[in-house]
Structure formats: structure tokens, C-alpha cells
Structure 1
Amino acid sequence: MTVSAPIQEARPIEIVAADDVVLGGHFWPRVRGTAAGIAIINPATGVLARYYHHYARFLAAHGFDVVTYDYRGIGASRPANLRGCGYRWREWGDKDFDAVLAWALARDGSAPVCVVGHSVGGALPGLAGHAPAIHRLLSIGGQFGCWRHYAPSRRRRLFLKWHVAMPALTALCGYFPGRRLGWLEDLPAGVAYEWAFRRPYLEDNYPQRQCEAVLRGFDAVTAPILAVTLSDDDIATVPAIRAVLDRYRGAPRTQVLLRPADLGQESVGHFSLFHSRHATGFWLDTLLWLRDGVNPWPDREVR
């Protein structure tokens, strides 16, 4: 199946978070067909929103209004001076994603809002106050990046990179200079440290009072969740994704483990599912979940 639809240009938008931080993004109106709802794409850590623009255009061609955006400290939401910036993952969820979700709900309160969360983007809904309004969540490699959950064969190398080199460089520069190294985008110091010193489970990373509030937020999410990982993803392994999924205790949850061969590829890893070569395969399959709530890979469920 192929898509022949006019190329839809997005319009730039700005969304103001509750603490007056301005987030830059794009809105992609649906091209044609029956309205399927609104889709919000949550990026991975250190990945620009424009990385997801091909997939956003695809969703717009299939009936979704789509919102892409950069978290505070990244891309179009980067401040003039990133040095010493204390932005943290929690703010990406309870302020940034929450503001984008509120914006989408205000635009059309009757339209179902679906979320596509890549990597940390699949975990952030649990931190957002408006998350009970989410209709459906597709989590792709959704996890928080704890080294204990990395693939054993790559654990030492990834530990040295993200949990030794990254915090050391962040302390030296006042932010993580990822772009200069070719290691994702630059990161605010708070995000870099939170990733570097992450403990395995959510409740291990907050003082008790904060932890209780965070867990209540995850419990409030009731949208069905389909969580995808790839067998060759060294970061978002089955245990890494399970550690997040288990905290969404109020939601129906399904986890699937795909092999690259299932997608006609030799390798996929943590990032390439958003490359346009998947438009006639994996991307079409995601529509079954986002529009209809049907798991396209029932024989790949993790029990």
C-alpha cells in the first residue's frame, strides 16, 4: 500500500508552559480523509523534533492532526544560554508535554488525543497532569535510560559513554556538548545528570513525597498502551521498557518485541523506526493501533 497525497506543510507554533517557558514546534493539519484525532509526538532525549517530521507528515496524510515540538533546552526550545541550565526530565513531562497536551485538548476537545512517545517520550505522560485525557499511547523504546537495563553485551561501553563521560563533560562545560561530539544534541545539565545517575526504578529517583506524587501521576493514566522494543535495541531492552510500563498501573498495557527481520531489515536499533524506509511497513502498522486500538503484532507479545 502506498500513499499519494499532497505534501502537507506544517506551520510553526509556540506553546507556553505553566512556568512561562516558550516551546517551539510545528502543527501538521490532516491532509484528507476521515479525521482520526490529534497525535502528539514526544521525542527521545537529545533528539530534535524535526527528526520526526517525516512520520508526522505520514500521520497527517492518514487523517491525524499532528503536533511535534522540542523540549525545553533542545532545538527550537533552546534558551540563548544553555550553560548551567537546570532543566530536568521531570519538567519535560509535567511542564512541557503537559502544556502541549493541554494545547491539543483546547484546540478540539472532542478529538481523541493519541501520543507517540519515543524513548523517554514514552515515559513522560506519567508526569503530566492532563494525562488522564490521553486516548491511546504508542511507546517506542520507552524507558528512562538506566545502565542496569542495557543489553549485557554493550553495557560496559554504554556505561562509560553515558554514565562516566557525559556527567564529566557536563561538569566541565556547564551543559552536555553532545552535538560537538556527535552524541545526540546538546543537553541541559539537569537532564544529563539525571540520565547519568539514574537508578533502575522510578521510585528510587525521588524523595518520598515527590515519589508519591509521581506514582499517582502514572496511576492516573488510563489510556491503553502499546510498548514496542526491538531485539537489537541495546538501550530499550525488554526489562528497561517493563520498568516503565509497570508504573502505568491504571492502564491496559501490551509489550511487543520485534526482530529486525519482522520489518524486513537487517538491523533497526533504538532510532531508525522513524526513518522513511518504514513508511510502507512499520508506519502503516502503527495506524492499526493509533486509529483502531488493534495490536498489529499479537504473535510478538511479551508475557
Structure 2
Amino acid sequence: MNLNDASSLTPATQPSQNTSFRAPAADGYPLGGFTWRHIRSDPTRPVVIINAATSVRCRHYSRFADYLFANGFDVITYDYRGIGESRRGSLRGFKASWSDWGRLDFEAILQRAQREFPGQPIDVVGHSFGGCAAGLGASGAVIRRLVTVGAQFAYWRDYAASGRWRMVGKWHVVMPLVTALFGYFPGKRLGWLEDTPAGVVRDWSAPTPSYETRPSGRALGELPFARLTAQVLAISITDDPFGTVPAIERLLSYFASSERTHLRIAPDDIGETQVGHFAFFRSEYEDRLWPIALAWLKHGALTPGTPGRRMTARV
């Protein structure tokens, strides 16, 4: 199994305690997802929203959501428009972008969490683009704690040097060319992620370093990242070719009003030879990686003995 490759992803089995939901995005588009809710309400119990990576179905995070639920959290997972539970027919000509996924979709789920779990603290876990999406919701000031995993802007110069040109060819040449041919990216057919809207592909493959310079980005002064005052933990893995130190810290620099911690973990820190970009949320890491995120969500701090190295972020 290639743990650096999206083609190795398989949806996790849905645990029995979740229920599906349908909710409108900020512009009315119907989003689908799942909620893990404890029977007894508790205003001190946090609710965690899980933001998926680009074109990874929310079902991939079900085992991790089940783990958080078992450790005392309520949890919401959802798919961005055009993906998984939030797909409606053909993606040919379908309009969606990274900005839509954050500004409209995540924002709607953030508001839903406030309605469905009134008074409860709200935390977010964001994988890859999901960490960027966490900074695009207009209501982001309500987020108490944020854990990101491999979160970055897919800027090609930040890719790991050893595989940079192969990644550029795959994600910045082949993917946009195939998208131009089909009107969307047929990822499932190729074994590369889920089928992906053309606008998202344009954002991903743009050769620019920052979010605001992507096709659907907005001026830096208009972005809501700085509204977050959440305690932010950015987890990166040393063999993640997307999540290099410059890539992680480029995104961290956007959370200018937050307390930020960057934890960099090598596979051998947890007795592995490889982990990569996609494997953190697989159930085999329940005892070795998931407790790091759990401790941050519970206490806003790393526990003694946490594997990895705490970086001095250049942000």
C-alpha cells in the first residue's frame, strides 16, 4: 500500500452511532454529512467539525470521528459540494471552488454546529485543504481549538524536492489537462481521489504560493483567517511530500491572531517506515497518532512524551 497516494484510500465503515443529515450551504446548496451526538446534552462538551482533504470523502474520517465520540466529543463530518454525500449528478459544468468549499460549505456547517449544539465549544480538525477551509468561514471566531494535518496550499515549490517534478506533472499538468477534456476531473476512474469539480482543480493547480492568488481567492484583507483566535496545532509528517516545513508554515502564517504550534513527526518516531499525506486518519494509528490530536482538543497542549519535534515556526 502506498500511503503517500490518494489511490490507497478506502472509506471507513460507518460506526452505528452516527446519523446522516442534509443541510443547506450558505447559498442554499444541499450538503450531506453525518453527526455523532451523545444522548445527554452537556454545554461543556465540545463538538468537533472534521474538514476533509480536497476530494476525499467524509466517510474516510468515520473511524476517527468514532474515536473522538468515544472520548467524549460530539462530532460532525460532511462533504463539500460535488463530493460524496454532497454530489448531485454529473460534475460536467458544475460550479465549485476552494473558496466555495470554505466560504459557503464550511461556514454553513459551522453555523449548524452552533444551532444544533448551542453553547458548546466548537473545535475543528482539518486535513490538507480542510485546514485552509477552517480559515475561510466568516464565523471562524467561534472556533476554540484547531488541529490541522498536512494542511497547505499545494504550492509546487513547497513540495518535497525528491518528488517535486513528478508531483508537478501529476497534479499541475495531467490533472488540469484531463479536467479540460472532461469538464471535471474523473478521479475515481483514474484512482486519484474522488471526481473533482473543474473550479477546484483550477485552484489546486494554479502556480501561485498563496490562497488569495488562486483563481477563486480573494484579497488578503478580505480573508477571515485573522478572525480566528483558536489554539492551532499543525501536525506534519516528514515523509508527506505535500506537507513540508515551508508548506505548513505558509498556511500557519495566515492564522495571525492565533497561538500556533507546529509538531513535525517522523515515521520512525512511531515505529513506522512510512505514513505520508493520507494515512494519519487510518485506524491503525489510533494508539500512536490520534492521541496527539485528542490531547490538543481536550487541553490545548501537547502531553509529555508526544512523538515528534516541536518546530519554531517562522510565521
Q: Deviations over 1:16-57 (max 9, x none)?
A: 112110000000124899863100000000100000000001
**Structure 1 residue ranges without an equivalent (≥5):** 1-6
1:50 aligns with 2:63: no
Matched, 1:258 2:262: no
Q: State which of 14, 26, 29 in structure 2 corresponds to 1:21.
A: 29
Give the counterpart of 1:40 among 38, 43, 49: 49
TM-score normalised by length of structure 1: 0.93
Aligned twin of 1:283: 290
Native 8 Å contact 1:226 1:295 kept in 2 = no
The answer (yes or no) to whether the contact 2:203–2:216 under 8 Å persists in 1 is: no
Instruction: Flag structure 2 segments of 5+ consecutive residues without an equivalent.
Output: 1-14
Query: Is structure 2 residue 178 aligned with structure 1 residue 194?
Result: no
Partner of 2:122: 113
- Following the alignment from structure 2 to structure 1, what is the Cα–Cα distance between the partners of residues 73 and 183? 40
User: Which is richer in helix?
Assistant: 1
Q: Which position in structure 2 is the counterpart of 1:243?
A: 250
**Residue of structure 2 in register with 1:228 after alignment:** 235
1:299 deviates by 6.2
Length, aligned pairs only? 295
Distance 1:208 1:289, change over 3 A: closer
**8 Å contact kept, 1:149–1:235:** yes
Q: Report the equivalent of 2:167.
A: 158
Partner of 2:74: 65
Q: Give the 3 Å change call, closer, same or farther, for CA 139–208 of structure 1 in structure 2.
A: closer
Q: 1:147 aligns with which of 151, 156, 160?
A: 156
Any idea what the Cα deviations from partners look like across 1:123-164, whole Å, max 9, x if unmatched? 112111110000100000111211111000100000000000
SS at match of 2:108: helix
8 Å CA contact 2:45–2:73 kept in 1: the answer is: yes
- 8 Å Cα contact 1:255-1:302 kept in structure 2: yes
Q: 1:72 to 1:174 in 2, by over 3 A?
A: same
AA partner of residue 68 (structure 1)? T
Specify the SS of the correspondent of 2:196: coil
Give secondary structure in 2 for the equivalent of 1:301. strand
Post-superposition CA distance 1:84-104 (Å, at most 9, x none): 112000111011000001000
* Residue 134 of structure 1 pairs with residue 143 of structure 2: yes
Q: CA deviation at 1:176?
A: 0.4
Q: TM-score, normalization: structure 2?
A: 0.89
- Taking structure 1 as reference, are residues 33 and 219 closer, same or farther at Cα in structure 2, changes over 3 Å only? closer
Q: How far apart are the structure 2 equivalents of 1:149 and 1:28? A: 36
Match of 1:3 in 2: none
Q: Using CA pairs below 8 Å that are at least 6 residues apart, which structure has the higher relative contact order?
A: 2
Q: Distance in 2 between matches of 1:240 and 1:188?
A: 24
Q: 1:173 maps to which residue?
A: 182
Sort the Cα spacing of 1:171 and 1:285 in 2 relative to 1 into closer, same or farther, 3 A: same
Contact 1:11 1:27 (C-alpha < 8 Å) held by counterparts = yes
Say whether the 8 Å CA contact 2:211–2:217 is kept in structure 1: no
TM-superposition CA deviations, 1:53-93 (whole Å, max 9, x none): 00001111011110010000100101212101120001110
Residue of structure 2 equivalent to 1:78: 87
Which residue does 1:94 correspond to in 2? 103
Instruction: Sort the Cα spacing of 1:117 and 1:207 in 2 relative to 1 into closer, same or farther, 3 A.
Output: closer
Closer, same or farther: CA 209–14 of 1 in aligned 2, 3 Å:
closer
- Contact 2:212–2:219 (8 Å) recurs in 1: no
CA shift at 1:204, angstroms? 3.1
SS of the equivalent of 2:311 reads: coil
How many angstroms apart in 2 are the aligned matches of 1:88 and 1:155? 24
